[in-house]
Amino acid sequence: MARLFDAYIIVDWSAASKPALGANSVWIGALARDARLKFQFQAANPSTRKKARELIHGLVERFVKRGDKVLVGFDFSLGYPAGTAELAGLTKDKPAWQAMHDHLASKVKETDDNSNTRFAVAASLNYAMSKGPLPFWGAPARDRLTTLTSTKGNFEDIALNEYRRVESWVRENYKAKPKSSWQLYGAGSVGSQSLLGIPTVHALRQSLPNSKIWPFETGLAPMDAETLDGTDVVFAEVYPSLVDAKPRTGEVMDQAQVEALARHYYSLDEAGRLGALFGPPEALSSEEIAQIEGEEGWILLK
């Protein structure tokens, strides 16, 4: 069985508020064919998210131009718990995931030095959804407001779940405990990466022809050559911690993880097993699948 993809790009995002390199910064790993058609891995560590966006765009554009199909994985949530867009009062003339992506792309502002408005945007969304400090939580002292506090609120006071179905699934089936998309600050938090990363995915989706975001635009369904016909680029959410990675001398864990995950997906693809991972686990109900495809998203698990 032929591979679905010809290049695998894994992105470890960062919510740093100033230029950063090394650990806890943006790492981009690309596994693709060289001039001799052998797969080689290269990693890059751009100091800002704007540089990272430009680099990802350039890589994908170059790969697609030579005829490659490209898988791009981002290590942050691409969606929010079902009901978020409706509770936030976002437009109802488009799918909930798209309404949220459009909203964040228009509201989150960043400068060339990585400073950004993520906490203000979260506080504004909290006001729209609860008039208080829910559902987003976590902020440094200078960014705390009555609608964004340092500690988690009581989720019994809001009609939203703390976790998406996929985060609960990972907790139930793997030795991993992914954080909630609502947590913006503190150890292991991923919420800020999502607020700052979704606008990048939105921009790449708009600027790269024949690209789709899984599972929102593809459906939560297995992929094969036929379903990928006419699609050059697939953006997906990934979770690097699910794959063992051992940094070499001088490497940071983030760098090792993007390589390990790129090689993992390549190996699955070579064995004809990657396509099935784009489909749903058997235990999901049709209602859950509809919520995942419409708003929550899913992780491309191993």
Asked if residue 204 is part of any domain, the answer here is: yes
Mean pLDDT of 267-283: 96
Are residues 148 and 290 located together in one domain of the fold? no
CATH number at residue 242: 3.30.420
pLDDT score of 252: 95
Are residues 216 and 290 located together in one domain of the fold? yes
pLDDT score of 69: 98
Band of the pLDDT at 254, cuts 50, 70, 90?
very high
pLDDT score of 1: 64
Are residues 202 and 289 located together in one domain of the fold? yes
Asked if residue 281 is part of any domain, the answer here is: yes
Are residues 159 and 124 located together in one domain of the fold? yes
Average pLDDT in the chain: 96
pLDDT at 22 over 80: yes
User: What backbone phi and psi angles, to 5 degrees, belong to 7?
Assistant: -150, 145
Instruction: Give percent of the chain above pLDDT 70.
Output: 100
Asked if residue 17 is part of any domain, the answer here is: yes
User: What backbone phi and psi angles, to 5 degrees, belong to 29?
Assistant: -115, 135
Query: Of 146, 173, 200, which closes a domain?
Result: 173
Say if residues 260 and 240 touch (Cβ distance below 8 Å).
yes
Angstrom distances, CA of residue 76 to CA of 10, 106, 150, 235, 249: 11, 19, 21, 12, 27
Give Cβ neighbours of residue 104 (< 8 Å, ≥ 6 apart). Answer: 121, 195, 198, 199, 202
pLDDT score of 46: 98
pLDDT score of 187: 77
Number of compact structural domains in the chain? 2
Are residues 290 and 228 located together in one domain of the fold? yes
Cis omega (within 30 of 0) for bond into 215: yes
pLDDT score of 188: 75
Asked if residue 181 is part of any domain, the answer here is: no
> 2 versus 260: which is more confidently predicted?
260
pLDDT at 2 over 90: no
Instruction: Report pLDDT digits (tens) over 88-127.
Output: 999 889 999 999 999 999 999 999 999 999 999 999 999 9
Are residues 115 and 159 located together in one domain of the fold? yes
Mean pLDDT of 263-286: 96
Asked if residue 148 is part of any domain, the answer here is: yes
pLDDT score of 35: 82
pTM > 0.85: yes or no? yes
Instruction: Report pLDDT digits (tens) over 150-207.
Output: 999 999 999 999 999 999 999 999 988 899 999 999 877 899 999 999 999 999 999 9
Asked if residue 302 is part of any domain, the answer here is: no
Are residues 291 and 229 located together in one domain of the fold? yes
Mean pLDDT of 57-71: 98
Are residues 168 and 195 located together in one domain of the fold? no
Are residues 91 and 230 located together in one domain of the fold? no
Are residues 204 and 141 located together in one domain of the fold? no
Mean pLDDT of 56-71: 98
Give me the residue label for tokens 């290049």.
7
Asked if residue 153 is part of any domain, the answer here is: yes
- For residue 233, which of 98, 69, 73, 78 has the smallest C-alpha distance? 69
Mean pLDDT of 47-70: 98
Are residues 215 and 276 located together in one domain of the fold? yes
Domain that holds residue 218: 7-77+191-296
Are residues 73 and 199 located together in one domain of the fold? yes
Instruction: Give percent of the chain above pLDDT 90.
Output: 93
Asked if residue 272 is part of any domain, the answer here is: yes
